[in-house]
Each structure stands twice: as C-alpha cells, then as structure tokens.
Chains A and B, each alone.
Chain A
Amino acid sequence: MVNAHARSAELELLHPTFRRAVTAVLAQLGAEKIPFRVFEAYRYPERQADLYAQGRTTPGAKVTNALPWSSYHQYGLGVDFVLYVDNKWSWDDSGARRAWWDRLQALGGANGLEALSFEKPHLQLAGTSTAALLAGNYPPDGDDTWAENLDAVIMGWRGQTPAPKRPKVPQRPAVA
C-alpha cells in the first residue's frame, strides 16, 4: 500500500533516463568515498501539498515554494541527495564537507543533471522545464513503470492544483 504522504528514497518510480544518471552519480560518489545517499526520490503530489501547506495553512515554518506538480519530484525527475554520516542525515557543509557538496553538483552536471540555485541537495534532469512537464511534454524513453505510475497519480489526483497531461501508457492486451 503506497503512502502518498510519506518520504520515499526508492528509485524505481524515477524516469529511466534520470534513474541511470542518479545511479551513476551515486556510484561515482561511492568510488570517491563521499557519503551521500538519496534522501528523497519520487514524491507524490499529496506529500508536496503537505509540504506546501506547512507555514501557510498548517503549523510550522514554511519549507517550500513548490506547489504540487511544480516540483520535478512529482514527475520522477528530481532527487535530493544528503550526506549520511554516523547513521544520521547531515546537511553540514562546513570545513572539508563543503567540497563534498560541490563535488555532488559537479558530478550531477557531468551526468546530465542540473541544480537549482542555492539548493545544494536537489538535482533534477536538465533539458526540460516545469511548463513543458505540465503540458505533458515528458522526456523520451520513459519505461512502463514510470509511465504507469505517473498516469495513475495524475488520474488519482484530487488536489486544487491542476494536474499535468497524462503520459503515454503502454497498451496491455486484454486479459482473456
């Protein structure tokens, strides 16, 4: 049972082009003994709505400006990398660790990913835009898992923010 309000670090719902790039970045970081892990990968629009509400209509400080479907996470095209040190997540960028974050960004760029300004943990697929995604112009070569999940999420979305156009989903032969 999927919990659309929970954080997930699973890579299986990412677009395959993006997943390959993320995997390559992780491998290169590992080879250099830089202890990053994927903190969050696919994010359902329900969770994005929860995050957006915080500090606006629910208690706490504001944590994001991204509405549901404005984040690449909802398309399987964005991930957050965070340091994992001594069994804890760490956003520390002081001293020598600053170079680790810089290296993450550099490896992302070398693998076809892009960073958002001033957001070191977040990397997303380069070469598209939120407007293109909302219009249903998705990166080519999406696999069945990615397309079927995105289509199901779009069809199940009940939030106020308009959902994007549906991706092309592979046709299944009718069950006899």
Chain B
Amino acid sequence: MSVSRASTVRRTRVGCAGLAALLVAVLPFAHAQTAPAAAAEPGVPAAVSDVVSGGYWQADKRGGNYRVVVTTVGFESLASRVFVEWIAEPLLPDEAPQVMAAVEAAASAGQPLTWRPSLQALAPGCVRIVLRGTNSMLPGQHPERAYWALGPGKLVAATSSNRPAGCRAQPPPARASG
C-alpha cells in the first residue's frame, strides 16, 4: 500500500513539475482559449496536441532527455506553437524531473500553421528535430523546418551546411573478429 501511495505521490510531483513548465509555455494561449485547462489538472493542458521525447544531454552535472511539446489552438484556423525542452532527470529518490530549459522553436502563433514533430537522436548532446507543417488555410501547403538541439537552451535552425560538430551519428561499435 505504501509503495502504491509513494508511487502515486511521485507521479503527481512529476506531473506537477512538468505541468508547471508546460503551463508557462501554454500560458499565452490560456486567457482566450483554454480557460478550463486549470480545472482539468492534474492532466496535461488540453492545448497540447503532440509530444515527442528522446536523446540525451549532459551539462553541469545534470543530464536528461529532450522533449518537444506542441500546443495547438484556434477556432477558424488552427495554429501551433512548438517548444523544445531539456528535461533533467532526478538526482535523488524524492526529486522530480525538471525542465532545465525551454525554447520556442516554431512561433507560428497567430498564423494558420500546425506542426507535427519528429526527433532523431544522433549523439549524446545532439538531436535533430523536424517539424512538418500544414497550412490550415491552404491545406495543400506543407512547410517543413528542422533544428539542432544541443546543450540546454541551445536550439539552432538546421540548414544543409550547419551540422554541428557533435552531431555526427555515432558509428555502431566494431565487432570483435574471430
């Protein structure tokens, strides 16, 4: 029973920590579109339409994974915002994961663009994030954006020639012969 309760408490704390950060991200939408979201706690805010996570980063004796959170709002034409977060793993048993840094990637708020994210872990300290979009007013138009996520808070728009040095995919370990 105590295990179950502890588990519940931990889940709640984890949820609250992540949720608090996410609510900050979603807050700009909240006043007009998602007023009931607060009543829905401890669930994830209803404006969240997509989440992907993966990869691994290390900095300042902390480490964790990357997370991409997409919120989508709107009525006539839907629009998304995309946030990249660096989630720090807990260091102690009673510690919750924390959002170490968050950066808005695709600021399409107000414009009729929705985004679906994908994330590819290339090496420790580097993931490639690809956003595939839909123009809500011209549904045949599908923009695409890509980013390199590096250390906490560092997000770089990806071009064909700016792959960071640490972002080479690591070769598989060599097999021992014989």
Interface residues of A (CB under 8 A from B): 39-40, 51, 54, 60-66, 70-71, 73, 78, 80, 82, 89, 91, 93, 101, 116-122
Give the one of B32, B73, B110, B134 with max A CB within 10 A. B110
A118 touches B76 (CB 8 A): no
Q: Which residue of A lies closest to B80 (CB)?
A: A61
Chain B neighbourhood of A82, CB < 8 A: 137
B114 touches A63 (CB 8 A): yes
Distance, CA A92 to CA B163, complexed state (A): 26
B77 touches A122 (CB 8 A): yes
Distance, CA A93 to CA B136, complexed state (A): 16
- Mark out the residues of chain B between 119 and 148 whose CB falls within 8 Å of any chain A CB in the assembled complex: 134-139
Quick one: given A60-B139, A63-B139, A91-B135, are A116 and B114 in contact (CB under 8 Å)? no
A61 touches B134 (CB 8 A): yes
Please report the number of residue pairs spanning A and B whose Cβ atoms sit closer than 8 angstroms: 81
- Mark out the residues of chain B between 69 and 127 whose CB falls within 8 Å of any chain A CB in the assembled complex: 72-79, 109-114, 116
Distance, CA A122 to CA B114, complexed state (A): 16
How near does chain A come to B126, taking the closest CB pair, in angstroms? 26
Between-chain CB contacts (< 8 Å), 11 pairs: A51-B139, A60-B139, A61-B134, A62-B78, A62-B114, A63-B136, A65-B74, A71-B76, A89-B138, A118-B29, A121-B111
B75 touches A54 (CB 8 A): no
B33 contacts chain A at the CB level, 8 A cutoff: yes
